[in-house]
Amino acid sequence: MIDTVHDLAALRARIADWKRAGLRIGLVPTMGNLHAGHFSLVAALRARVDRVVASVFVNPTQFGPNEDFARYPRTPDQDAQGLAAAGCDLLWLPSVEAMYPLGLHNTVTVRVPGVTEVLDGAHRPGHFDGVATVVARLFNQVQPDVAAFGRKDYQQLAVIAHLVADLAFPVELLPVAIARESDGLAMSSRNQYLDADARTRAPAMQAALRALRDAMQGGASAADAAAEAAVALREAGFVVDYVEVRAPDLSAHVDGQQAAVALAAARLGATRLIDNLEFSIDGTPSAR
Ligand code: PAF
């Protein structure tokens, strides 16, 4: 059984004991329904810190009014068992009241400018305000030395990097490689919404991004390659929110620039999937 705390006083007592003992603390922030991708974050931290804390909190402020907050999968017992097996030391499982003590309509909101205005920020208004707000709270609550985030949420990582730099949180960010199923589908809690037919179509997203990369490495412009990828996604049954090629910092990609990231968001039925692929135009392997 993993040690689990539900209130801030109990969390602070554990953290204070560890800090007094000079231990380095790592945090894996999650919304639960944990899979191998989350456990890879725990493993990456275990190699770098003395104690690993995972938070499980389905954060209402990052869901839009027509999004899947109510049906988001909640599997607390399974999560606790998985975290214990992965070598996590403490599970922070706050209620909405513990996370937002002054009430959801009275909360201080953190808004990161710039990088939140494109891609998912444009398609999910307010989403990144909710993410930045809850991550700032988690950092204050857990006071980690290192926090691990998956590269699948590429834009989220950029938002959190801006948050950490601008508010001077003394937290090192540890980006972790995307965990994929054997057919290339990026692991996500939302994959379980896919019915059998949609599940067979879903790997087309990663395939479209790879084809986009190959086209650009073969000389195609970013705009043409992205348009082709969007067509491939539609042919596979997706309703496309966006397929874009950007510079690694998510500013506009200029043809001729070597480093790029292709990002896509699209829906299969009611399930919205995102994925990305980092590459260089001349095929130089990336440093990670
Ligand atoms: O990536 C997620 O699961 C969430 O956006 C996060 C970072 C835990 C904030 O709620």
Domain residues for the domain of 75 are 3-176
Question: Pick from 200, 266, 259: which is nearest to 231 by CA?
Answer: 266
Which amino acid type is present at position 24?
R
176, 210, 236: which is the final residue of a domain?
A: 176
pLDDT of the residue at 118: 98
**Ligand 1 close to Cβ of residue 59 (< 6 A):** yes
Same domain, 87 and 195: no
CA–CA separation, 56 and 133 (whole Å): 15
Opening angle at CA 156, ends 253 and 187, nearest 5: 100
Same domain, 138 and 275: no
Establish if 229 belongs to a structural domain: yes
Ligand 1 atom at shortest distance from the alpha carbon of 29 = 8
176, 206, 228: which is the final residue of a domain?
A: 176
Same domain, 40 and 119: yes
Same domain, 27 and 152: yes
Packing angle, helices 154-167 and 127-142, rounded to 10 = 60
Q: How many CA atoms lie within 13 A of 176 on its CB side?
A: 25
Any catalytic annotation for residue 105? no
Same domain, 134 and 242: no
Same domain, 43 and 126: yes
Establish if 183 belongs to a structural domain: no
Cα of 273 vs centre of ligand 1, distance in Å, is 15
> 229 near 211, Cβ under 8 Å?
yes
Question: Pick from 107, 145, 148, 143: which is nearest to 12 by CA?
Answer: 143
Q: Which of 38, 55, 59 to mutate to test the pocket of ligand 1 (most atoms within 8 A of CB)?
A: 59
* Count of domains forming the chain: 2
* DSSP, residue by residue, the chain: --EEE-SHHHHHHHHHHHHHTT--EEEEEE-S---HHHHHHHHHHHTT-SEEEEEE---GGGS-TTSSTTTS---HHHHHHHHHHHT--EEE---HHHHSTT-GGG-------SGGGSTHHHHSTTHHHHHHHHHHHHHHHH--SEEEEETTSHHHHHHHHHHHHHHT---EEEEEPPPB-TTSPBP-GGGGG--HHHHHHTTHHHHHHHHHHHHHHTT--HHHHHHHHHHHHHHTTPEEEEEEEE-TTSSBP-TT-SEEEEEEEEEETTEEEEEEEEEETT-PPP--
Q: Tell me: the pLDDT tens digits for 30-40?
A: 999 999 999 99
**Ligand 1 close to Cβ of residue 31 (< 6 A):** yes
Same domain, 93 and 40: yes
The CATH number that applies at residue 34 is: 3.40.50.620
**Ligand 1 close to Cβ of residue 29 (< 6 A):** yes
pLDDT of the residue at 255: 82
Phi first, then psi, for residue 53 (nearest 5°) are -110, 135
pLDDT of the residue at 49: 98
Establish if 193 belongs to a structural domain: yes
Q: Name which residue sits closest to atom 5 of ligand 1, judged by CA.
A: 131
Establish if 267 belongs to a structural domain: yes
Q: Which residues of the chain have pLDDT under 70?
A: 286-288
Establish if 286 belongs to a structural domain: no
Establish if 184 belongs to a structural domain: no
The CATH number that applies at residue 262 is: 3.30.1300.10
pLDDT of the residue at 11: 98
pLDDT of the residue at 286: 66
What is the arrangement of strands in the sheet containing 146-150, beginning at the earlier edge strand?
3-5, 90-92, 51-56, 25-30, 146-150, 172-176
Q: What is the largest CA-CA distance in the chain?
A: 58
Catalytic residue among 38, 127, 162, 253: 38
List beta partners, residue 261: 246, 278
CA–CA separation, 14 and 55 (whole Å): 14
CA–CA separation, 230 and 234 (whole Å): 6
Q: Tokens standing for 133?
A: 């707000």
pLDDT of the residue at 169: 98
